[in-house]
Amino acid sequence: MELIIKEQENKGFAMARENNKRAGLMTYSIAGEQHIIIDHTEVDPEFQGKNIGKQLLYKIVEMAREKNIKITPLCPYTNAQFKKLADIQDVLKK
C-alpha cells in the first residue's frame, strides 16, 4: 500500500493506492500555519475492512508531528478515531 500526502494552496489530502488504484482518500483544509481541519474520508468499497481510513489518518498524524501542526477532526470518522485512539491525542487541537 502506497500512502502519499499532497498539498495545494489551502487544501491537502492523503491518498492510499494499491496497484495504481485509489484505495482511499482523506482531505483536509489548511486553517493556519500550525492547524489543519480533516473534513472528509472515503474508502473505495473494494478496500473496505482493510484499515485504509486508519492508515490515512496515521499518515496525516505523522506529517502533523513533523511540522508541529494541530488537527481538528471535523469528519465523523476521524472525530471518532481521535476519541478512541490515545496514541494520536498529542496532535488534537484543544
Please give the helix or strand (H or E) that residue 83 lies within, else none.
Answer: helix 76-84
What mean pLDDT comes out for the span 70-90?
Answer: 97
The domains found in the chain, sorted by start residue, are: 2-91 (3.40.630.30)
Model pLDDT, residue 32: 93
What mean pLDDT comes out for the span 53-74?
Answer: 98
Predicted confidence band at 91 (pLDDT cuts at 50, 70, 90)? very high
What mean pLDDT comes out for the span 33-57?
Answer: 97
Cα–Cα distance measured from residue 91 to residue 22, given in angstroms and rounded to the nearest whole number: 26
Candidates 67, 52, 68; CA nearest to 3 is: 52
Candidates 16, 2, 51, 10; CA nearest to 28 is: 10
